[in-house]
Chain A
Amino acid sequence: MAALDQTQVKEGVDQETVDAVAEVSTYKYGWETDIEMEYAPKGVNPDIVRLISEKNEEPEWMTEWRLAAFERWQQMEEPNWAMVSYPKIDFQDQYYYARPKSMEVKPKSLDEVDPKLLATYEKLGIPLKEQMILAGVEGAENAPVEGRKVAVDAVFDSVSVGTTFQKELQEAGVIFCSISEAIREHPELVKKYLGSVVPVSDNFYATLNSAVFSDGSFVYVPPGVRCPMELSTYFRINAENTGQFERTLIIADKGSYVSYLEGCTAPQRDVAQLHAAVVEIIIEEDAEVKYSTVQNWYPGDEEGKGGIYNFVTKRADCRGDRAKVMWTQVETGSAVTWKYPSCILRGEESQGEFYSIAIANNMQQADTGTKMVHLGKNTKSRIVSKGISAGKAQNTYRGLVSMHPKAKNSRNYTQCDSLLIGDKCGAHTVPYIEVKNNSSRVEHEATTSKVDDDQLFYCRQRGMDEEEAVALVVNGFCKDVLQALPMEFAMEAQQLVAISLEGSVG
């Protein structure tokens, strides 16, 4: 925080914003749980891949799938196009599998889970009990009891320690479990969908993940079902020198709806740790998925020591007509972020939305954005990205909007704004725009002054001066992103609401 207090802030950036950025940058989850762990030997090779597969009691086909991915990975090179720099990662100098000793025998119910683990999640504010988890969130007491339940899948290092509300979800026909359980219990679904959105050899980190992912969450919402509660996964890295590789697979069958939340934290350590996840979402006809993330991995200290390297591949495939996906992300953690939640808009009239607030402070580097690939007719996408840099941080928006020849009458609107707090940080925008038919409209804007003229006119007509009007409209816009966050993230959102993009640089 000290670094921010001394920063000369340019005129027009309000103090509330500066304070809010400092506040979210103070890491509160840096403690660690003292628990006996069991590790696989350091490094990665076919034996480790087999070992992970064995630990998860996987069938032969899954082991083969992983080994093929590993073979592929060995021929690949680390990507270097992102605007991030970090020391070369020694992939052989870390653990790929770590689980608490107490998880050796899978607990049959939450009551059997090691109290230490339960205490860990309790401390993180995610009690693994079947109750409303909104304790501590202002205004939660007013929330209706119905529909405010949240089922949690808690992943601790390499394993899932438990999933709440499984029974109630089952009654609705929803499958919500760890991916390792899904591989055992629902192989037909996993076989059909795993790797179908993010192919095994999609990119360096996704391929590595395909080989060594240890756990993650699996969701299947059957046709016509509106998931009775929000689902969430909470990822915690605890073990030292250990990479976390989780895999999430969400399938929303025809006409279904699910809202999924993801949270993550890690202890404060001097040595950087690797996190390479893959999230695949399949959305069939008329289905809708909302995926919200508050990414709060340990960002490293003020000198940039330690922190999580967050290399994540997230992609949603709107396969059916009128399928809809919405990504909302608040990125405050990680030393290095490399993350582009994307939408493939294959079905006609399918829709993709991406709302992002990325806050980078101290030595953090974030290179994040989205891809909107329009393949079907009348598809729509919207990108709203807010990047805030402070300290010596670098924040990059990188995105692709692609209108294929057959995606007639499609629409995209992109707005990305950046705010710099202090003169030692950087804000960058790297959008790719590819338009291959003329009935589609693509608009990209990256400026706060370009607010809607009608709205401005309306405000001015009511006696506001231009500056006030612009501020009001822009702030309203930023709050729009936050409002897209589900209630469960209200705590984080409350902090972020104080952020305004006045004085933004474009």
Chain B
Amino acid sequence: MALPEVKQTATDARLAALTLPTGGCLEDARRAALSRVQTLGLPGRRDEYWKYTRPDTLTQVEAPKAAIFDTDEAPMFDEFDRLKVVFVDGVFAPEESDDLSLEGVTIERISDICDKDIHWAKDLYGVLEARGQSPVARPLAALNTAFAQDGLAIHVTGKPSKPINMIYRHSDEGSDAILHHVIRVDAGAEATILENGPAASRFNKCMEIDIADTGKLHLVRAQGRDHERRAATHLFARLGTESEFKSFTLTVNGVLTRNEAVIELTGDDAIAHIAGACAGDGDFHHDDTVFVTHDAVNCESRQVFKKVLRNGATGVFQGKILVKEGAQKTDGYQISQSLLLDDDSQFLAKPELEIYADDVACSHGSTSGAIDEDALFYLRSRGVPEGDATDLLTLAFLAEAVEEIEDEEIAAAIVTRLEGWLARRR
């Protein structure tokens, strides 16, 4: 079917400005992804899946300029013992990174995987992304697969002693980064991955995660502080039997963020938790779009998203639980809540369920409102100043999402960040 004219024009223009990396072992995967983009067309304002977020600046040819945010605050996760992998404007920076060798994990650049005749990553690159194009199209992810400039292939084979920390530095005000990671977790293996930093003026990131039976992966990311940055990220995860995937995202600044998570539970008894806390101030638009598919028996999924919004910030949540025929004993939970600190901010949500199995428990809730006046009064009557009381209640509101982080120290670091954010905005 031909694309609408506006969409065709926008897609053609964007594709004309990009060059497909050729010659490597991923060329076929890239070409297939390019053809997906051509068929689907880039997202447009009239697309139902983009009803609440305008995709124009994510799809236009030039990345809009974004000033680099100067702060004396220590970068996130600095206090942790971790393996640092640094990217500057979307390109791996070996001189700033640690030595990539660590027991229990193999970390390579995707450009290096072709050196080997057989490499697991060749069979994963673009595969989960392609699966994730149905029933809803995610053309920006296909664009990523086709044109990714860099990325890592992370193979978790054991239990590495420390987390792997991808740090995305932003140095050029007009940078347009496309980054694609593939991650495989073997049976019985377990790792934690941390991500932080604004990455670029415009950041298109895709992560494909394949977790084998009984494997575990924890992902915690803090999206960078640069106010004018834009990001469209995709997370595709496939979970085997008794495996576990937990993800938490903190987003505090950024003029536009769209985080899509596409989770497929394909093995019985698997667990997937996707959580996010976001605090937005002013010209801030944050969109969490989550699609969880239950395609096995007795799996558990949780989606917990909390958004604090002020001064005209916009929070979007589009979540879906799809329970396929036969996925009995599914336990699906989804909550999206917003705390609107003033009258100009808005929360737009679409919490969906699609269920084809009868012996399941799926619940979803969505609420939106202001700070509880009674709670505020209670605190104030006990001598807590209004500012402190508001912060306290705001943190309490975000807590349910932050509690999804398994590691208590990391959770504490996230809370400290949120406290700092609130304190700076008194």
A contacts, CB < 8 Å to B: 9-11, 13, 81, 403, 405, 408, 418, 420-447, 449-450, 505-506
For B332, B348, B366, the residue with the greatest tally of chain A CB atoms inside 10 Å of its CB is B366
B349 touches A428 (CB 8 A): no
Report the separation of the CA atoms of residues A505 and B358 in the bound assembly, to the nearest whole angstrom. Answer: 7
Q: Which residues in A have their C-beta under 8 angstroms from that of B355? A: 418, 420, 426-428, 505-506
Total interface residues on B, CB under 8 Å, equals: 37
Say yes or no: is B420 at the interface (Cβ < 8 Å to chain A): no
Q: Which residue of A lies closest to B332 (CB)?
A: A506
A427 touches B369 (CB 8 A): no
Question: 29 A-B pairs, CB-CB below 8 angstroms?
Answer: A11-B359, A81-B48, A420-B355, A420-B358, A421-B358, A423-B325, A423-B326, A423-B357, A426-B356, A430-B352, A431-B352, A431-B366, A434-B349, A435-B338, A435-B340, A435-B346, A436-B346, A438-B370, A439-B370, A441-B367, A441-B369, A444-B351, A444-B364, A445-B364, A446-B353, A446-B363, A446-B365, A447-B365, A506-B364
Q: Which residues in B have their C-beta under 8 angstroms from that of A445? A: 363-365
- Give the residue of B48, B344, B347, B353 whose beta carbon is less than 8 angstroms from that of A433: B347
Q: Which residue of B lies closest to A7 (CB)?
A: B358
B326 touches A442 (CB 8 A): no
Instruction: Report the minimal beta-carbon distance from B278 to chain A, rounded to whole angstroms.
Output: 15
Report the separation of the CA atoms of residues A354 and B129 in the bound assembly, to the nearest whole angstrom. Answer: 40
Say yes or no: is B27 at the interface (Cβ < 8 Å to chain A): no
Instruction: Report the minimal beta-carbon distance from B62 to chain A, rounded to whole angstroms.
Output: 31
A438 touches B358 (CB 8 A): no
A435 touches B358 (CB 8 A): no
Instruction: Report the minimal beta-carbon distance from B191 to chain A, rounded to whole angstroms.
Output: 33
B361 touches A506 (CB 8 A): yes
A505 touches B340 (CB 8 A): no
Those of B232-265 within 8 Å (CB) of chain A: none
Report the separation of the CA atoms of residues A425 and B323 in the bound assembly, to the nearest whole angstrom. Answer: 12
Closest 3 CB pairs of A and B: A447-B363, A438-B340, A506-B362
Instruction: Report the minimal beta-carbon distance from A414 to chain B, rounded to whole angstroms.
Output: 9
Q: Which residues in A have their C-beta under 8 angstroms from that of B369? A: 438, 440-442
Say yes or no: is B53 at the interface (Cβ < 8 Å to chain A): no
Q: Which residue of A lies closest to B331 (CB)?
A: A506
Say yes or no: is B117 at the interface (Cβ < 8 Å to chain A): no
Report the separation of the CA atoms of residues A506 and B351 in the bound assembly, to the nearest whole angstrom. Answer: 12
Report the separation of the CA atoms of residues A445 and B343 in the bound assembly, to the nearest whole angstrom. Answer: 24
Instruction: Report the minimal beta-carbon distance from B180 to chain A, rounded to whole angstroms.
Output: 32
Q: Which residue of B lies closest to A406 (CB)?
A: B343
Q: Which residues in A have their C-beta under 8 angstroms from that of B366? A: 431, 433, 442-444
Q: Which residues in A have their C-beta under 8 angstroms from that of B338? A: 435
Q: Which residues in B have their C-beta under 8 angstroms from that of A10? A: 358-359
Q: Which residue of B lies closest to A438 (CB)?
A: B340
Say yes or no: is B345 at the interface (Cβ < 8 Å to chain A): yes
Report the separation of the CA atoms of residues A384 and B363 in the bound assembly, to the nearest whole angstrom. Answer: 15
- Counted as pairs of residues, one from A and one from B, with CB atoms less than 8 Å apart, the total is 132
Given contacts A10-B359, A427-B355, A439-B343, contact A444 B348 (CB under 8 A): no
Q: Which residues in B have their C-beta under 8 angstroms from that of A444? A: 349, 351, 364-367
Q: Which residue of B lies closest to A390 (CB)?
A: B358
Q: Which residues in B have their C-beta under 8 angstroms from that of A449? A: 361, 363
Q: Which residue of A lies closest to B355 (CB)?
A: A427
B362 touches A435 (CB 8 A): no
Q: Which residues in A have their C-beta under 8 angstroms from that of B326? A: 423
Q: Which residues in A have their C-beta under 8 angstroms from that of B350? A: 430-433
Given contacts A428-B353, A433-B349, 11 further A-B contacts (CB under 8 A): A423-B357, A425-B358, A427-B353, A433-B347, A435-B368, A438-B343, A443-B366, A444-B366, A447-B363, A505-B360, A506-B355
For A9, A408, A428, the residue with the greatest tally of chain B CB atoms inside 10 Å of its CB is A428
Interface string of B42-82 (1 = CB under 8 A from A): 00000010000000000000000000000000000000000
Report the separation of the CA atoms of residues A66 and B410 in the bound assembly, to the nearest whole angstrom. Answer: 66
Q: Which residue of A lies closest to B357 (CB)?
A: A423
Instruction: Report the minimal beta-carbon distance from B397 to chain A, rounded to whole angstroms.
Output: 13
Report the separation of the CA atoms of residues A40 and B239 in the bound assembly, to the nearest whole angstrom. Answer: 60
Report the separation of the CA atoms of residues A283 and B332 in the bound assembly, to the nearest whole angstrom. Answer: 41
Q: Which residues in B have their C-beta under 8 angstroms from that of A425? A: 356, 358
Q: Which residue of A lies closest to B353 (CB)?
A: A429
Q: Which residues in A have their C-beta under 8 angstroms from that of B349? A: 431-434, 444
Those of B167-217 within 8 Å (CB) of chain A: none
A450 touches B353 (CB 8 A): no
Given contacts A423-B358, A426-B354, A428-B354, contact A442 B363 (CB under 8 A): no
Q: Which residue of B lies closest to A81 (CB)?
A: B48
Q: Which residues in A have their C-beta under 8 angstroms from that of B325? A: 423-424
A505 touches B368 (CB 8 A): no
For A425, A441, A444, A445, the residue with the greatest tally of chain B CB atoms inside 10 Å of its CB is A444
Q: Which residues in B have their C-beta under 8 angstroms from that of A437? A: 340, 343, 346
A506 touches B360 (CB 8 A): yes
Report the separation of the CA atoms of residues A450 and B365 in the bound assembly, to the nearest whole angstrom. Answer: 10
Report the separation of the CA atoms of residues A427 and B362 in the bound assembly, to the nearest whole angstrom. Answer: 11
Say yes or no: is B26 at the interface (Cβ < 8 Å to chain A): no
Instruction: Report the minimal beta-carbon distance from B386 to chain A, rounded to whole angstroms.
Output: 16
Q: Which residue of A lies closest to B323 (CB)?
A: A505
Report the separation of the CA atoms of residues A204 and B73 in the bound assembly, to the nearest whole angstrom. Answer: 56
Instruction: Report the minimal beta-carbon distance from A103 to chain B, rounded to whole angstroms.
Output: 45
Report the separation of the CA atoms of residues A13 and B362 in the bound assembly, to the nearest whole angstrom. Answer: 16
